Structure formats: structure tokens, C-alpha cells
Amino acid sequence: MKLSAQEWRERLTDEEFRVCREKGTERPFTGALLDNKSDGEYVCTCCGNKLFESKDKFDSGCGWPSFSSQSDDNNIEFNTDDSLAMRRIEIVCKHCDSHLGHVFDDGPKPTGKRYCVNSVSIQFTSAEK
């Protein structure tokens, strides 16, 4: 999904644009989805692509929603991020290139991964209808 910066600005809130399109970060412990424990799935704010499932969400204590795996290997792309004088692995939506957060190798078994995600870059869809 390719849109111009102006088209994204018209679709997103200022905070969503800053985080998702300009690779920003929301302040820790402020995201609306941090403490969500409901059953369902998490989709990209920008395009609706399914990214994570509630069964893989865990409390890492880091201040951002954390997941031990992605919902499908074809939904997230990994990029090297050398900003802030450190090397990290950025995660972005494969469908629209939206910045989601970063992935680290300090998560729970069996994956050992911690997908650290900005709440503003994802939306929750409840399994309860």
C-alpha cells in the first residue's frame, strides 16, 4: 500500500503519523493497548494487516505491548536500525511499511523473541462478537 505523506496525514492522527510513518516512539507505559488482556488479534493501524494474536502477548515490563511471535511470517519485515547509537532490529508492516517497533532476543520460550510494539501502530479486534 503506497500512499504519499499527505495521504497518510489525512488518514492518521498526528501521533499515528509520527510513530507509523516517521519512525517515532510513544512514551513507555502510555499506550492504550499495553494492559489489554482480551482475546483477539492485533492489526496494522495504517492498513489493517493482521500482525499479532492475543495468545502471543505477554507482560515484559518494558512499557510497550510485547508479543512472543508474529501471527504469520509474511506480515512483518525486519530492518537494521542503527539510530540512537545502538543496533536494533526494526519491525515494519510488510504491506504498508508502517513502523511498528523493534524485536529483541529476550522474550519467553519457545521463540525467545520480544516484539516490542507501539500501541498507536496497532489496533485490537476482539474475538468476542
CATH code of the domain in which 70 resides: 2.170.150.20
| Whole-prediction pTM | 0.93
- Tell me how far CA of residue 50 lies from CA of 12, 29, 71, 75, 106, in angstroms: 18, 23, 7, 7, 23
Once rounded to an integer, what is the mean pLDDT over residues 67-83? 92
Average pLDDT over the chain, rounded to whole?
A: 95
By annotation, the residues acting in catalysis are 116
Confidence (pLDDT) at 129: 63
Once rounded to an integer, what is the mean pLDDT over residues 9-36? 96
Once rounded to an integer, what is the mean pLDDT over residues 88-106? 96
Lowest mean pLDDT among 7-16, 57-66, 77-86: 77-86
Overall domain count for the chain: 1
Its domain, for residue 36, covers 5-126
